[in-house]
Structure formats: structure tokens, C-alpha cells
Amino acid sequence: MRIKYAQHDGRIPRLVFGAKEAQITRPNHPFVPHKPAPVSPVDGLSRGQRLFDELDARRSVRFFSDAPVPREMIEIAIRTASTAPSGAHMQPWTFVAISDLVIKAKIREAAEAEEYASYEGGRMPEDWREALEPLGTDWRKPFLETVPWIVVLFAQSYGFTADGQKKKHYYVKESVGLAGGLFVASLHRMGLSTLTHTPSPMGFLTEILGRPSNEKPFILFPVGYAADDCVVPDLERKPLDAVSAWFDG
């Protein structure tokens, strides 16, 4: 094997493999050509701006219509989410999609019980209450029955091999967070709305949905169309300089 070194930052030599060499060194793990369609910086910037404008218009919705949403839209959102990068490509997530009325009612009842204990039962610390104040949320979650779909994203803390042995998963939270973000973006692209909902604690979802012990509830997404009279808190997003640091060359 021929090893090539490239000067990376002038001090530390970086090892690089040509694509062919990588293929040769991993005979049991085939590589395939990957040629992203060429996009000029001008077109790229314009595409990026359009995507930003579109995603900037996304809002978390708490007032939904009961208009039906075809199952295929949920399927494509889950497939889109599953394109997310994941630690060692373990894809450590399960999206559980529910349109069953009885199960949605059970989820609402259990979520409201937990939220009641948090909001009214003194379980929520004062600073958290204050942080939530501008959002106008309380223990009531009627939207959990209004929406045509609830999708619960579970994180798999470990997986299983074909012969039933435990398989380690890596960077589970990071991976599942990325998948959740793509799921939200896909719904938004299709004109659907959702809320990133985390009724705490969420153990009731494991029980109601009969999930295995390697799966932990991560986020509950009510999914549907925003109600005609939907309102959202008047929030501002941080400007670029507040969310970035630069070392321009």
C-alpha cells in the first residue's frame, strides 16, 4: 500500500488515501463512486438562501387542524430522517407512527398526567417555568388527539446482531438529534407542522407503545396541518454573530 502525506496546516502531516487505495485496503467493504452533481458557488448560495428562507418560516405549532395526512407523507419524512449521518452508521433510531384514535387518547392522557405533575404539582423548577413563560404552554395537550398522526422518535441505546447479540451503538444522542432535525425539515417542506414535544418523563411511551428495553423515548412529534387560527409566540432567532465564531484566513 502506498501512503501519501499532505501538509495540512504546515505542522502536522496528515495521512491521505486515494479513493482507489481505500478500496484496496477494505476488500470486504466495497466502495462505490460518489459524484455529487456539480453546483457553482453562485447557484449554491442561491439554493442555500432559498433553503434558509424556507426553514426560517418553520415554527413549532401547538394548534392543529384535524385534516387528514396521508400515511405516505409520514413515510417519506421518516425515510428523509433516516438519511441522517449516524455514529458508525448504526442509524440508532425508531420512528413509531400512530394514527390509531385509542392510542392517541392514551398518549394524551399519560402526557397530561406527567405535565400536570410538572406544571401544577411543583415538579418544575422556577427557572424552567420562567423560561417557558413566553411560550404560553401549560399541562393541557389537546393537540395530541387533534392531530392525525403522532410520531414518537425512540433512541436505540444499543442494537442487535443478526444472531441476537447486543451490538454497541455510538453517539446515539447526536445521531438521533440529527435524524429528528431532518424529520422536522421534511414535514415543513411538505407543508405539515409539528411540535418537538418532550413531556417529562416520557417512560409512559415505552409502555403504551410496547417498545423494547433498548429503546428510549426521545421526542414526541404531533404531526398535522396548522389550524386556520393557529398562533405562535413572537420569537426572534439569534443573529449569525451570536451563534458562530470565525477564524477567517
Ligand X SMILES: Cc1cc2nc3c(=O)[nH]c(=O)nc-3n(C[C@H](O)[C@H](O)[C@H](O)COP(=O)(O)O)c2cc1C
Q: Which of 55, 198, 203, 212 binds ligand X (CB under 6 A)?
A: 198
What's the closest the beta carbon of residue 30 comes to ligand X, in angstroms? 38
C-alpha cell at 94: 425508531
Is residue 235 a contact point for ligand X (CB under 6 A)?
yes
Residue 13 host element (H or E): strand 13-16
- When the beta carbons of 72 and 236 are compared against ligand X, the nearer one is 236
Residue 222 host element (H or E): strand 215-224
Distance CA(206)–CA(133), nearest Å, equals: 29
Q: Please give the residues from 109 up to 168 whose contact with ligand X meets the rule CB under 6 A.
A: 135, 137
Site string for ligand X, 52-81 (x = CB under 6 A): -------xx-x-------------------
What's the closest the beta carbon of residue 34 comes to ligand X, in angstroms? 31
Percentage helix, strand, coil for the chain under 3-state DSSP, each rounded to 5? 40, 15, 45
The residue range among 99-107, 120-128, 150-158, 197-205 that interacts with ligand X, by the rule CB under 6 A, is 197-205
Is residue 223 a contact point for ligand X (CB under 6 A)?
no
Site residue total, ligand X (CB under 6 A): 12
Distance CA(35)–CA(84), nearest Å, equals: 19
DSSP for 14-51, written as a single string: EEE--HHHHHHH-TTS------PPP--HHHHHHHHHHH
The residue range among 45-53, 72-80, 155-163, 195-203 that interacts with ligand X, by the rule CB under 6 A, is 195-203
Are 219 and 198 in contact by the 8 Å Cβ rule? The answer is yes
Q: Which of 195, 208, 209, 223 binds ligand X (CB under 6 A)?
A: 195
What's the closest the beta carbon of residue 227 comes to ligand X, in angstroms? 15
- When the beta carbons of 127 and 163 are compared against ligand X, the nearer one is 127
Are 109 and 76 in contact by the 8 Å Cβ rule? The answer is no
- CA neighbor of 190 nearest in space, from 72, 30, 18: 72
Q: Which of 104, 108, 169, 197 binds ligand X (CB under 6 A)?
A: 197
Which residues bind to ligand X, rule: CB under 6 A?
59-60, 62, 135, 137, 195-199, 232, 235
